[in-house]
Amino acid sequence: MQEVSVLEIAVSVAAAVVLFVYALKGFSEDVQTAGGEALKSVLARLTRTPVGGFALGAVLTALVQSSSAISGITVALAEAGTIAFRGTLPVFLGANVGTTSTAWLVTINATILAPILIVASVVASLLPGRIALYGRSIMYLGVILLALNLISGYVAPLKDDPDVALWMGYLSNPVAGFVAGAIATALLQSSSVVVGLAIIAVQQELITMYDVLPIVVGSNIGTTSTALIASMSLGATARAAAVANLAFNALGVIVFVPFMAPVASWVSAMAGEGDMAVALIHLIFNVCVAVTGFVALRPLAKRLDPDETTAKP
């Protein structure tokens, strides 16, 4: 493969990633706009119980396709007093589980729905009232799937290029993979993008299932950057919620990493070593984060809650 061809492919992949991120952001904003004040009311009501908050975080993240967006909104609403500090914590845990939906969309080849959704969005946009807004959301979802399909097609020829194989070999180092996943997610502000790209790389045999797992784990740390950044311009409650989100994910990584190899071996024995295995391990990991988080929920909330901290003599 000529060097210029690799450059052309790299530019094409970068363009598709930009399209993916743009559509993801637009879809997330449209869903939030469609929800309006009703969404805030539901958030306040359901976060009164840990189970309700967890379910809310998981469902909203699966719909919005961005745990970063949900965590950022949650932090802002906590500062505004719409959600109690303790109510934010289960939402973060649910968002981690909900974000695994992107991996399954890529794995089950839902990208074939892209043309149907785009055409359907045009029809919906011609209808009156709020339906037009939903039509635009459908368009964004179709473009998200289309971008994933484009990325998959663009990277396919790279699996036979020795230079690409050399660069991908660096990611076989678990520490390098973890750092790359965390940094890429922090830069793109979306673990969905990073995990989606990682699964496509496995599908195209650019990297093995075992080597991609540290990238996926690292993305869970990187995704907490959105809430941390959002909280910087807010008050103590928002900052405490963002720190709690980071603590949950860090604890989950600490608990899961020692068992990652045996879990990977168990999953590969059942589902092989392809994209399905990555999606399944991603789900298991985030469930592990959720379980760890619920165990640490009460002591962590007591330690970080600004109201309890300021109340101490």
- Judged against a pLDDT cut of 80, whether residue 244 lies above it is answered with yes
Tell me, what's the pLDDT at 308? 58
The per-residue pLDDT for 57 is 84
pTM over 0.85: no
Q: Which residues contact 118 (CB under 8 A, 6 or more apart)?
A: 139, 142, 143, 146
User: Which is higher by pLDDT, 23 or 294?
Assistant: 294
* Statement: residue 153 has pLDDT above 60: yes
pLDDT of residue 88: 81
> b or e along 27-64 (b: 16 or more beta carbons within 10 Å of the residue's beta carbon)?
bbebbbeebeeebbeebeebbeebebbbbbbbbbbbbb
Q: Kindly report, residue by residue over 79-115, the tens digit of the pLDDT.
A: 777 777 777 888 888 888 888 887 787 777 666 777 8
pLDDT higher than threshold 80 for residue 213: yes
Whether the Cβ atoms of residue 94 and residue 54 lie closer than 8 Å to each other: yes
Q: Please give the pLDDT value at position 311.
A: 45
Mean pLDDT of 151-156: 67
What is the rounded distance in angstroms from the CA atom of residue 144 to the CA atom of residue 166? Answer: 29
Position 127 scores a pLDDT of 75
Place of tokens 């309006």: 36
Query: Which residue in 144, 187, 119, 194 sits closest to 30, CA to CA?
Result: 144
- pLDDT averaged over the chain? 77
pLDDT in tens, 58-77: 887 887 766 776 777 777 77
At 160, the pLDDT band (50, 70, 90 cuts) reads low
pLDDT band (50, 70, 90) for residue 313: very low
Residue 173 carries which DSSP code?
S
pLDDT band (50, 70, 90) for residue 46: confident
The CB-side HSE value for 102 (13 A sphere, CA atoms) comes to: 29
DSSP 223: T
3-state SS of 89-152 is: HHHHHHHHHHCCHHHHHHHCCHHHHHHHHHHHHHHHHCCCCCHHHHHHHHHHHHHHHHHHHHHH
The pLDDT, as a whole number, for residue 166 is 59
How many Å apart are CA 196 and CA 204, to the nearest integer?
12
> How many C-beta neighbours within 10 Å does residue 19 have?
17
Compute and round to an integer the Cα radius of gyration of the chain: 20
Element (H, E) at 30: helix 3-46
Q: What's the N-to-C CA distance of the chain in angstroms?
A: 69
pLDDT at 312 (0 to 100): 47
